[in-house]
Copies of this chain bind each other. A is one copy, B any other.
Amino acid sequence: MKKHNFNAGPSILPRIAIENTAKAILDLNNSGLSILEISHRSKDFQAIIDEAVALFKEILNIPEGYHVLFLGGGASMQFCMVPYNLMSKKVAYLETGVWAKKAIKEAKLFGEVAIIGSSADKNFSYIPKDYKIPEDADYFHFTSNNTIYGTEIHEDPISPVPMVCDMSSDILSRPIDVSKYAIIYGGAQKNAGPAGVTFVIIREDVLGKVERVIPSMLNYKTHIDGGSMFNTPPCLPIFAMKETLKWVKEMGGVAKMREINHEKANMLYEAIDNSRMFVGTAEKSSRSVMNVCFVMKEQYKDKEADFISFAQSKGMIGLKGHRSVGGFRASVYNALPKESVLALIDVIKEYEKLNA
């Protein structure tokens, strides 16, 4: 049976990226060696990481003055690396969900954190508006897409201080204006590639302003100077990311991705809005284009587990919502084909016909 992969992350990747990665594991470029057993200092691997950096820069139209780093440790490591490198005294954070709260928790270890907006009052079902970024903050940090709650900040904010963004779950899904940001970071394991590599887009001039001593591996400067190879990088995840980036470019880049992603998300939101049994959890203007969160209406609440089983029987994977929201979450990342969204809409309609 055809599987429809709605996993929230690690999540569906382009089939061509998967196949090319499997090939490179068996034999990289007819070298007789696996990508898993070549030196990261070899010409072959240098070409791979160079291509990945170049594709990232090209696809996101990254201006001069920015570096693209590929690190291990996950976006969670960035939660402490950002304040380690950038916070002198006071910083501003937007609190839009669990991941923002985790970032705030780590920042508090380094100084004063002003939470300038929060949607905690309504279980993070909307994006706070009318927040004011203090001009004396060392930086302003936000999470552009909140995977768990299905909310997203669709436009680049304007900030009077250096702006830092965790774009783990919507990078490469739409065009962004990188020049508005000091740092954009994220785990690759949604639109960018498999788990095990973290991207950091960083404007070098924000560094060198703090007085604290920074361990080498936590210092962005180390990784800029080393071209992401101060130490052995996560070679295979970088290779698979490079293949995913190639696919994004070939598909028409991030403008085309946005078009397709909006089409997919809109179809699904429309089916939910028109249904008798289901209801979306996020405020409409804050809805994520990546993660569509929905639940059963009150009178059908007891059917949620049954719907998951029904959907599973039709090949739907990863539809269970996060425990903080309950219900369902359909992640419709770049690599998820429209066909899978249509199949899910059919499943929703069929289930309603049988049960409501």
Residues of A within 8 A of B (CB): 1-3, 5, 7-13, 18-19, 21-23, 25-26, 31-34, 36-40, 71-77, 79-80, 84, 102, 105-106, 109, 187, 189, 194-198, 213, 215-218, 230-237, 240, 315, 317-318
Contacts and interface: CB of A to CB of B under 8 A. Distances in A.
Given A26-B19, A38-B10, A318-B39, A3 B74 contact: no
Given A10-B232, A234-B72, A234-B196, A25 B34 contact: no
B235 A236 contact: no
Contacts of A317: 33
A332 to B, nearest CB: 14
A196 B39 contact: no
A49 to B, nearest CB: 12
B12 A37 contact: yes
A23 B18 CA distance: 11
A106 B213 CA distance: 10
A320 B135 CA distance: 54
Given A13-B36, A18-B37, A196-B235, 18 more contacts: A3-B32, A5-B33, A7-B39, A10-B40, A21-B25, A21-B36, A37-B194, A72-B198, A74-B231, A76-B230, A79-B215, A80-B217, A102-B216, A106-B215, A109-B215, A187-B232, A194-B236, A236-B240
Contacts of A189: 232
5 contacts: A3-B33, A18-B25, A18-B36, A73-B73, A80-B218
A76 B71 CA distance: 12
Interface centre among A13, A23, A36 (most CB of B within 10 A): A36
Nearest to A14: B37
Contacts of A233: 195-196
B7 A34 contact: no
B13 A37 contact: yes
A18 B2 CA distance: 27
Contacts of A7: 37-39
Interface centre among A12, A72, A240 (most CB of B within 10 A): A72
Contacts of A11: 37, 39
Contacts of A77: 72-73, 217
A216 B36 contact: no
A80 B84 CA distance: 14
A88 to B, nearest CB: 17
Contacts of A25: 18, 21-22, 25
Nearest to A240: B36
Contact of A26 (B10, B22, B71): B22
Contacts of A31: 3
Contact of A217 (B12, B79, B195): B79
A100 B40 CA distance: 21
A231 B11 CA distance: 15
Nearest to A78: B217
Contact of A195 (B10, B22, B215, B234): B234
A7 B40 CA distance: 10
A194 B76 CA distance: 22
